Structure 1
Amino acid sequence: MSTRTGPRTGPGPRDRLLDAAQRLTYQQGVGVGVDALLKEANVARRSLYEHFGGKDGLVAEVLRRSADEDEAAYVRTMGAAGDDPRERLLAVFDELGRIIAAPDFRGCRYLAADLALADPEHPGRAVTRAYRERVTGLFEDELVRLGHPRPARAATQLLVLVDGALAVGATRPDADPADAARELAEGILSEV
């Protein structure tokens, strides 16, 4: 029987770990140390193992949570652009320009994770693959609606442009990579 009389305030250890790991793995990469994660989350080491089985499980869950948030952001961005599939797809590149211009932009979380996670069987790699497949599917749906002759191939090309814009945005933001990627995307969309 609990002696607690009021509702619990603040996030529990699991959520604090996720929040801290989501922040630190984006700022410092997935190689950030366990001790730094535990300190940032203000939790005991035991919480990491109880909730995630270890750091690999935490990293995979952070990537999963981020992927869900980012996929929802793609849907919102395209939805705000109206009903025209061409405009919906181009809006993605306009939004990338805003994201890259943000002072805390550090590049693509998924590309960085894939490069850092050398083991192809790491659970985080499956999450990044699934995320890219879902985003490609969003693009392909729009390309089908547009009547593109090669929607699957064009969706893959658009994702390459997104990945490239995010990578260049992290290393050379003055190159205006989102605008360059948008221009290339316009060429892909003009095949209709």
Structure 2
Amino acid sequence: MIYRVKGWHNHAMSTSAKPGPRERLLSAAQELTYTQGVGVGVDALLKAAGVARRSLYEHFGGKDGLVAEVLRRSSAEDLDQYRSTMEKAGDDPRARLLAVVDRLNLIAAAPDFHGCRYLAADLALTQPEHPGHEVTRAYRRTLQGLFADEFVALGHSRPEFAAQQLLLLVDGLLAAGATRSDLAPAASRELAEHIIDAGLKGA
């Protein structure tokens, strides 16, 4: 999934021995749709994967199906990384939530960070019925749910609302990280602390 040092929302090409056409297409598309966007041409995808055009239609029904599957696989991998980051931070919900923001700050500062693939896909896929949109919506619902669980454990007065606020912060951090080099990590961390602490009793 994730390029481990640089962060979430990217995927390295598979190095497994002799993967089949479906896996090669997925790996190539996961890489190219991140670095070049979902508008990357079919010919470029087929060339990178080293497969015939018929493989695209046999396995995915066309480019739209491939893009949706790439988003599905990427979102599963990225959600695992969110969970892993929180688990490594220990049991304190506040520390777990702030660990996510700290990790995303590192990712957004990487020199070859290209932004959030889900935001980019939603903007580029102009057809409302494109199957990729349901994948990105499901991804955000799940991520917001992960945040909400932590806010509930924290005893926050408005856990669902706070989770929505934190998700907005995450989206903004990743979008800004792709377009600006002057972002101070302390800014997003302080915003996250405000979201967390605003709903705690005695805060």
Q: TM-score, length-normalised on structure 2?
A: 0.88
Per-residue deviation, residues 16-72 of structure 1 (Å, max 9, x unmatched): 000000000000100000000000000000000000000000000000000001000
- Counterpart residue type for residue 91 of structure 2: D
Per-residue deviation, residues 110-165 of structure 1 (Å, max 9, x unmatched): 00000001111100000000000000000000000000000000000000000000
Residues 56-71 of structure 1: pairs in structure 2 closer than 5 A = 56-71=64-79
- Counterpart residue type for residue 184 of structure 1: L
- Counterpart residue type for residue 68 of structure 2: A
Aligned equivalent of 2:48, options 23, 40, 46: 40
Pair 1:80 & 2:88 matched: yes
- Tell me how far apart the structure 1 counterparts of residues 37 and 122 of structure 2 sit (CA, whole Å): 11
- Tell me how far apart the structure 2 counterparts of residues 30 and 9 of structure 1 sit (CA, whole Å): 27
Per-residue deviation, residues 166-190 of structure 1 (Å, max 9, x unmatched): 00000003223x4322110100111
- Counterpart residue type for residue 163 of structure 2: A
Q: Where does the alignment leave 5 or more consecutive residues of structure 2 unmatched?
A: 1-15
Per-residue deviation, residues 2-21 of structure 1 (Å, max 9, x unmatched): xxxxxx94111000000000
Residues 120-159 of structure 1: pairs in structure 2 closer than 5 A = 120-159=128-167
**How large is the Cα RMSD of the aligned pairs?**
1.1
Structure 2 counterpart SS, 1:11: coil
- Tell me how far apart the structure 2 counterparts of residues 94 and 33 of structure 1 sit (CA, whole Å): 35
- Counterpart residue type for residue 193 of structure 2: E
- Counterpart residue type for residue 70 of structure 1: D
* Other-structure match for 1:161: 169
Identity of aligned residues (%): 71
| Regions of 4+ moved over 3 Å | none
* Other-structure match for 2:197: 190
Q: Where does the alignment leave 5 or more consecutive residues of structure 1 unmatched?
A: 1-7
* Residue pair 1:97, 1:179 contacting (<8 A) in 2 also: no
Task: From the CA coordinates, give the structure whose radius of gyration is larger.
Answer: 1
Per-residue deviation, residues 68-103 of structure 1 (Å, max 9, x unmatched): 010000000000000000000000011001111223
* Residue pair 1:100, 1:173 contacting (<8 A) in 2 also: no
* Other-structure match for 2:7: none
* Other-structure match for 1:95: 103
* Residue pair 1:93, 1:179 contacting (<8 A) in 2 also: no
- Tell me how far apart the structure 2 counterparts of residues 108 and 83 of structure 1 sit (CA, whole Å): 28
* Residue pair 1:101, 1:173 contacting (<8 A) in 2 also: yes
The Cα shift of 1:104 comes to: 2.2
Aligned residues: 184
Residues 48-59 of structure 1: pairs in structure 2 closer than 5 A = 48-59=56-67
